[in-house]
Amino acid sequence: MLGYDNPAELWYPLIPWQIGALFLAIGFAIVLGMREKKRIKRRIDNGEIQNTQNIDSREIADDFIKQQKENEEASNEKTIKHPAMIWINALLLVGVLLSMLFDILPPALAFMIGLAIALPLNFRSVDDQMGRIRAHAPAALMMASIILAAGLFLGVITDSGMLDALALSIVGVMPDAFGPYLHIVVAFFGIPLDIIMSTDAYYYGIFPVVESVASSFGVPSESTAFMMLIGSTFSQGFLSPALWLGVGLAGVQIGQFMKYAFFWFWGFAIVGLIFGFIIGVY
């Protein structure tokens, strides 16, 4: 659709935007931390902190560490505790990323080589290595299945002509003045769409249609891809493992978190779209 054999080529123009977004996220974290400190101090001064039922973060951390130890004992895996291994693993990770960034190796080959080095480096016995593979195999197989299914789906709707017919149908009922800005409208609502439909449906279902419609009005495919990507970058859909891990460690319900964070996510996405215009990503 976009004609890129190496995904890194599509990523290069987004690096300046990612650096700006990183500083924006760090600044926002600092503001939230300062606001929380003031809130806690105010509650302590008012004598309200004794009446709260908030879960102590230290207790959560202790429970998490205890669970990790139980899992390790259950799997009979002996992880090396040598401090130098942290830096060796960090260097290995940087090497894999640089090999992809500078197009030295294809991404698949780089990860395969990195895995072949990391497994015997951290786990000496074959049983321990197989234990790590079994622990992460379900997630890896699920992701591979999703990618293969998405490829089949895009191939069917593209080569069968369904994608073109759907795009032409949308163009036929859409005002001409609205067509060139369809990708902007969809990117603006990227956070709600990503949360409601999941990331896979957003990129594999909505993006091909939007790209076909926008390209018929002369909009470059890269601009559509960049806008839709930036529009949903700050989203944490309900199917994100990182979201459930963070919510569990914080001791809050997923509904409470989404109620609090939804508009922050959306606001960050809008700021990110504006920032992309400023630095000329599109």
Give me the mean pLDDT over the 269-282 stretch.
88
CA distances from 174 to 162, 181, 189, 204, 264 (A): 18, 11, 18, 22, 31
Identity at 231, one-letter amino acid code: G
Give the tokens for residue 211: 């790209």
Between 136-145, 218-227, 261-270, the lowest mean confidence (pLDDT) is in 136-145
Confidence check: pLDDT of 74 > 50? no
Mind listing the pLDDT tens digit for each residue in 181-234? 888 888 888 888 777 766 666 777 788 888 888 888 888 888 888 888 888 887
Identity at 248, one-letter amino acid code: G
Alpha carbons 152 and 272: distance in angstroms, whole number: 32
Give the list of residues 6+ apart from residue 266 with CB closer than 8 angstroms, or none: 191, 192
Mind listing the pLDDT tens digit for each residue in 76-87? 545 555 666 788
Between 86-95, 136-145, 206-215, the lowest mean confidence (pLDDT) is in 136-145
Could you tell me how far CA 132 lies from the centroid of its own chain? 23
3-state secondary structure of 154: helix
Alpha carbons 30 and 36: distance in angstroms, whole number: 10
User: Is 6 within 8 Å of 106 (Cβ atoms)?
Assistant: yes
Which comes out higher in pLDDT, residue 238 or 32? 32
Alpha carbons 214 and 182: distance in angstroms, whole number: 6
Confidence check: pLDDT of 8 > 80? no
This prediction's pTM:
0.58
